[in-house]
């Protein structure tokens, strides 16, 4: 494989090429670092780049491969992490001024597992300050920019991670998702973003935003790649306080077995399909019409959708403020204006409001679990609009009303943080301005293999893996 052709290859392709000795892990790291050096100045995807360490690790992995040591499909594969995930000896800023010089003394469990599998850490990705935002805009380290159009936002808070994968700087980045922070930027940048079931992936060594809503997942270029990464990072961790499921499925095995099966699809058009931009609506409807993956498509009605945003917001703001309370009292001026405002709003949330929000969350979760007994998966647009411009603060709805960008981007994703259900976004089209549109596939608890199989089958049918390469110069 020629070096210039590998930047947008899948992990599966790269792994096979490395195993066949047609490509060395050192060469692959060199390609990634060169792309970071070329595109990061304009796209602002990385905060820290580990040039020397990445080469040293690649040489060590290459030596193991020559000795016949096989660590699996991630051996020799470069990866990056959202700069809120700890890696021993690597600066972790959380996109903030407060943590600008923090050096972790441990690897997060997910980083340790990736390294054990032979993956090579090349750097940390830009994000909203303390992961507190959905735009990718950061006043301290600069904003990550959408590689399809640098005048448009990348989405966030894992914006730098999505940009890195979309541009071929790395094949995979690990991120976090509290309201849509993996899925939104993945959708806006035209890549695959997986948020697993709550508790599937350890959060040890990952800085919290709102603990009962925080999920850890991955951003990749294909569903197969997401399945492999999830296979490595998922599973019980004695260091993690969340122990939702100690017996994780073997995703590669289940993925292979289920990908040719037909599954029933539920479409909750009310709420999730309201207020779509016309082009987004057309692209999503075309996906539904041509999906070819289901025995049946059933229109379903979700109750209590009017409670989704307020219940999520109450929990998100209250929990984040509790985590930041000490700094809010001692270093308030070191927060950006927007983050400080959100944290102060959290101090105004009464205990009774928080308890009521928890009760509503449980009711909404039970409603989705009820519906997921009738269908295998639920399909909704990931976002109701394509990536807006940096100077857009409102977007016109179909009925002429206006909605803030933040609420518009979060509208279809937050409920799956509240309920803890697994969700994956995949790219399914481009607008007339060449901006990606994503669809979100959701399943019942710990049924990631269904989401992955549907996403993978769609990629194969549409050959979509090769269609979403941004027009970089």
Active-site residue 161, yes or no? no
**Do the beta carbons of residue 156 and residue 133 sit within 8 Å?**
yes
The active-site residue out of 7, 45, 80, 82 is 82
Collapsed DSSP state (helix, strand, coil) of residue 137: coil
CA distance 55 to 96: 28
For residue 80, the cross-strand partners are: 123, 173
* Tokens coding 171: 């094949």
**Do the beta carbons of residue 144 and residue 158 sit within 8 Å?**
no
Task: Classify the C-alpha dihedral 201-381-378-413 as positive or negative.
Answer: positive
Task: Classify the C-alpha dihedral 213-218-220-225 as positive or negative.
Answer: negative
DSSP state of 387: P
Please, where are the H alpha helices in 376-442? 405-410, 414-418
- The answer, yes or no, to whether the previous bond of 157 is cis (omega within 30 of 0) is yes
The active-site residue out of 25, 144, 181, 444 is 181
Residue position matching structure tokens 């699809």: 265
- Give helix 251-258 / helix 448-462 axis angle, nearest 10°: 50
The active-site residue out of 157, 222, 444, 453 is 157
CA distance 425 to 423: 7
Q: How many CB atoms lie within 10 A of CB 290?
A: 12
Q: How remote is the C-alpha of 156 from its chain's centroid?
A: 9
Residue among 74, 122, 109 nearest 228 (CA):
74
Active-site residue 82, yes or no? yes
Q: How remote is the C-alpha of 354 from its chain's centroid?
A: 26
Active-site residue 96, yes or no? no
CA distance 250 to 306: 37
Task: Classify the C-alpha dihedral 331-336-337-343 as positive or negative.
Answer: negative
The residues assigned a catalytic role are 82, 157, 181
């Amino acid at each position: 494989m020629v070096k210039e052709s590998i930047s947008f290859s899948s992990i599966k392709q790269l792994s096979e090429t490395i195993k066949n000795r047609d490509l060395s892990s050192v060469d692959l790291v060199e390609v990634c670092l060169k792309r970071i050096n070329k595109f990061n100045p304009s796209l602002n995807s990385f905060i820290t780049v580990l040039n020397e360490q990445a080469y040293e690790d690649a040489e060590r992995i290459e030596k193991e491969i020559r000795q016949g040591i096989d660590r699996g499909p991630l051996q020799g594969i470069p990866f990056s992490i959202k700069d809120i995930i700890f890696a021993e000896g690597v600066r972790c800023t959380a996109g903030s001024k407060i943590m600008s010089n923090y050096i972790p003394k441990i690897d997060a469990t997910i980083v340790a597992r990736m390294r054990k599998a032979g993956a090579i850490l090349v750097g940390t990705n830009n994000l909203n300050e303390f992961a507190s935002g959905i735009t990718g805009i950061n006043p301290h380290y600069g904003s990550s920019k959408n590689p399809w159009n640098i005048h448009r936002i990348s989405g966030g808070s894992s914006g730098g991670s999505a940009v890195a994968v979309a541009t071929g700087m790395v094949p995979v980045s690990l991120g976090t998702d509290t309201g849509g922070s993996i899925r939104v930027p993945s959708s806006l940048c035209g890549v695959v973003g997986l948020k697993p079931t709550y508790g599937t992936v350890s959060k040890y060594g990952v800085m919290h935003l709102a603990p009962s809503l925080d999920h850890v997942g991955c951003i990749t270029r294909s569903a197969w790649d997401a399945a492999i990464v999830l296979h490595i990072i998922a599973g019980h961790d004695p260091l993690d306080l969340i122990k939702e499921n100690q017996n994780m499925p073997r995703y590669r095995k289940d993925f292979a077995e289920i990908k040719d099966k037909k599954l029933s699809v539920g479409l909750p058009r009310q709420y999730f399909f309201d207020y779509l931009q016309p082009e987004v609506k057309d692209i999503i409807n075309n996906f539904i019409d041509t999906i070819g993956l289901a025995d049946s498509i059933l229109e379903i009605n979700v109750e209590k959708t009017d409670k989704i945003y307020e219940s999520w917001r109450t929990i998100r703001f209250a929990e984040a403020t509790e985590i930041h309370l000490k700094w809010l009292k001692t270093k308030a001026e070191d927060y950006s204006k927007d983050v400080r405002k959100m944290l102060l709003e959290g101090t105004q949330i009464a205990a009774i409001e928080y308890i009521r929000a928890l009760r509503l969350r449980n009711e909404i979760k039970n409603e989705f679990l009820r519906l997921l007994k009738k269908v295998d998966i639920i399909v909704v647009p990931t976002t109701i609009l394509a990536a807006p411009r940096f100077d857009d603060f409102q977007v016109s709805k179909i009925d002429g009303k206006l909605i803030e960008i933040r609420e518009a981007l979060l509208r279809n994703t937050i409920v799956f943080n509240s309920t803890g259900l697994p969700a994956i976004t995949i790219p399914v089209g481009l607008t007339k301005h060449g901006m990606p549109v994503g669809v979100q596939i959701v399943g019942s608890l710990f049924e990631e293999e269904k989401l992955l199989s549907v996403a993978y089958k769609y990629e194969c049918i549409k050959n979509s893996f090769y269609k979403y390469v941004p027009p970089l110069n």
